[in-house]
Amino acid sequence: MTGAAAFTVLQQAASGPARLGQLNTPHGPVETPQFMPVGTRACVRTLAADELAEAGVRIILANTYHLLLRPGPELIQQAGGLHRFMGWAGPILTDSGGFQVFSLAPLRRVSDEGVLFRSHVDGSLQWLTPRRAMEAQWAFGSDVSMVLDECVGFPATRTQVEQAVRRTAQWARECVAVFRELVERHGQLRLVFAINQGGVFRDLRRRSLEELLELPVDGLAVGGLSVGEPKPLMYEVLEELQALLPPERPRYVMGLGSPDVLVEAVARGYDLFDSVLPTRMARHGAVWTWEGRRSLKDAASRDRHEPIEEGCDCYTCRRFTRAYVRHLLKSGEVLGMRLATVHNVRFMMRLMDRVRQAIRQGQLEALREEIALRFGSQAGKEADGT
């Protein structure tokens, strides 16, 4: 698939660049805007595949770096691919592993050939090259594969970012060539996305995008954001890129998970998002409700014998009380983390439902103001991330 075959714009917002769309994948269509829970090691932390489906999840993200090291692409391919391995019937997007190499590997050496790094699992030296990244994702059976990119944090010098832009473009060309070779060899249609880099240097972002637009990719992602830069600067970058992105391809901003940031990105014309934030928060006893962020470990929850959130239809809120979940969390019971995670994942799906409905009804600005009021003041309590 390429471009228009992979994505359809169903409705443009009455005002502004927000839109409704449909991403067409080998494992079914995905409504956009859409949030992807992160299944780092072929598992969204503490949840089974059927629990994700019950929560309304349509597509998940899995992590190439972690799966490459353990259990390895060969074993996953023997199992029939990632879908069968983890019991998930819906679409899967896999990242390239580049971000984790740069953020997790205790030893790494980056060159134009790829990244030599020391595994955090067993200390062995590993090569991650464009070819290996694409062949691993093909072995996983990914519906959407991401090209290998070089991600830099914030702050970074212009020289560092410029090097990353050059190398990302080179690796993208190599990745796409390997991907097309695999498609021709196996006769299967899958999707591949390229990743824009450039930090907060808008001219470098434009340069990166111009090079990527020359490639036959199905979608375009914005990487290297939500890595420490101020939100206004992030929004400026997204606005600048949106004006240059082709409307017929899906737009994916990597690493966004805060409700206010998600809605702001949707309002700027973006379609897909992912973050570990909802599940990470839950494991630490924090949940989202329509009133904002709530700690379940605080004293106020001790004798609250009602759901975490009145009106929520998640399994946790239908069956258990806020006091009970607090008791589990304070006792260190894994069930407490699971129940909080179920709520947060379902909250994200409800949020995206409301976003799509607001676009459909021409009410996105009203929802944007509501979310900013309830969640914008909570910036800094947790970091987004992949």
Residues marked active site are found at 95, 274
DSSP label at residue 343: H
- Rounded to whole angstroms, how far apart are CA atoms 221 and 272? 9
Structure tokens, 274: 């992912």
Q: Give 196's strand partners.
A: 222
Burial class (CB in 10 A: 0-12, 13-18, 19+), 315: middle
For residue 11, which of 1, 3, 22 has the smallest C-alpha distance? 22
Mention every residue, 6+ apart, whose C-beta is less than 8 A from residue 187: none
- Rounded to whole angstroms, how far apart are CA atoms 93 and 145? 6
- Rounded to whole angstroms, how far apart are CA atoms 315 and 320? 8
- Rounded to whole angstroms, how far apart are CA atoms 306 and 40? 32
Question: What is the SS3 assignment for 157-211?
Answer: CHHHHHHHHHHHHHHHHHHHHHHHHHHHHHCCCCEEEEEECCCCCHHHHHHHHHH
- Rounded to whole angstroms, how far apart are CA atoms 116 and 113? 9
**361 near 13, Cβ under 8 Å?**
no
Residue for token pair 């036959």:
216
